[in-house]
Amino acid sequence: MRNSRRTLIVAIAAVGALTSVAACGGGSGSSGSSDASAGTYTFWDPYPQFDASSAWSKLVSTCGSGAGVKIKRTGMDTTDLGNKALLAAQQGNAPDVMLVDNPVVSTLVEAGILNKTSDLGLDTKSIQANILGAGTIDGASYGVPIGANTLALYYNKKVLSAAHVDPASVKDWASLTAALKKVKGAGKKGITFSAINTEEGSFQFLPWFWGSGADLTKLNSAKGVAALTLWKQWVDAGYAPKDVLQNTQTTSWQEFATGDYAFSENGTWQLGNAEKAGFDYGVISIPGQNGGAAPVPTGGEFVTVPVQKDSGRYDVTKKIVTCLTNPANLLSTDTTLAYVAPVAAVQTKQSTANPELKPWVDAVAAARGRTSGGLGTKYPTISQPLWTAVQSALSGGQSAQSALDAAQTAAAKN
């Protein structure tokens, strides 16, 4: 391992800046791989909501049994998992297998605690390139994605119909803004999203930022300013509520679920709630400024293998990872987790079984990893100034230009 105490401390701070953008919460403690001599392998994941009776937990156990070992599974929230992984690596008792949120992969790689998939002999050829890219650093992949989620626009069919808006007419920013104006004129509300001062806020802003053609290496470009100005105009005009500043993706969805809003920017993980909402809904891609689908950020987790002192453990670990990510298990797992599979053949089966997933499969195909393009561990140092700029501009504290100028200055210092 090439990590030092200083590297680990810096990495822990970076992981702390990244929070899960899906609807997972809670946390619990865990120990490392001290039971390995008794045929027990440790497995950490960011799913504390799944207990031992869940389909997910049973699959993990089954994959262990198939490899001839028992798996000790511990679920904890994303930030807790990343921090504990770094500390466990420092202490020499990292878990054998770890499922981590994709932006965390580069931080763990920087700390020197993850194995390359090629060194382990794990096959990633069938994985969609843009999904795999979220866990690829300097041309090498450090995990196998178990699935992906991303963002799109849910819409309330009744609200749009009453406002005489055809969702098919929403093709760019101008047509979306025109639709919001009609909805407000008809006595309903426009659009909900999350602009909170956490990673969720950046995650939700990125489709508009990227959809303008802006780049994360230059936050204060004219294109980036245009994206933030769009959101500011919506809030000022009453097309979006002022509480977007406090909204998480969950509370934003709760607003949409009242039935009063035309649109909600949200993710695949809300599909189950959409079915329970009590009104007809549809899904369209988030439009780019001048048309077409905007690039959206890839969410989802990677199955990773932390570095172990005993390299003899890797043969069994490989069997566990291969089991979890084989096509049959991906199909069942990604249905349970409301993920789009990272493999085209499995995506086809998902869309056939549930046609409502088709817009999400298309969205995932156009998605980008937040740490892709060589950003890696630089992403958290860019994301935090970005969400701070969004907060400042929407609250009226600064103009969009001034807020992003400050964000670019802050990002450049790191």
- Quickly count: other Cβ atoms within 10 Å of residue 64's Cβ: 24
On whether the CB atoms of residues 208 and 231 are closer than 8 A, the answer is: yes
At 301 the pLDDT is 93
C-alpha span between 260 and 279 (Å, rounded): 11
Q: Which of 132, 269, 290, 106 is nearest to 210 (CA)?
A: 290
pLDDT on residue 9: 39
Q: Give the integer Cα–Cα distance in Å for 227 and 15.
A: 27
- Burial label for 185, CB within 10 Å (0-12, 13-18, 19+), is exposed
Domains and CATH numbers, the chain: 5-148+298-365 (3.40.190.10), 151-296+375-413 (3.40.190.10)
Only one residue has tokens 């994941």, namely 45
Rounded to 5 degrees, φ, ψ at 328 are -65, -45
Parts of the chain with a pLDDT under 70? 1-38
Q: Kindly report the length of the chain.
A: 414
At 258-286, the pLDDT tens digits run 999 999 999 998 988 999 999 999 999 99
* Cβ-contact 307, 115 below 8 angstroms: yes
Residue (of 132, 86, 127, 130) closest to 108 by Cα position: 86
pLDDT for position 10 = 44
Q: What are phi and psi of 28, to 5 degrees?
A: -160, 165
d(CA 389, CA 13) in angstroms, rounded, equals 20
Q: Please give the DSSP secondary-structure letter assigned to residue 286.
A: P
The whole-number pLDDT of residue 18 equals: 53
- Calpha distance 185→179 (Å, rounded): 10
The order of strands in the sheet holding 144-145 is: 70-75, 40-45, 97-101, 301-304, 144-145
Q: Is 354 within 8 Å of 271 (Cβ atoms)?
A: no
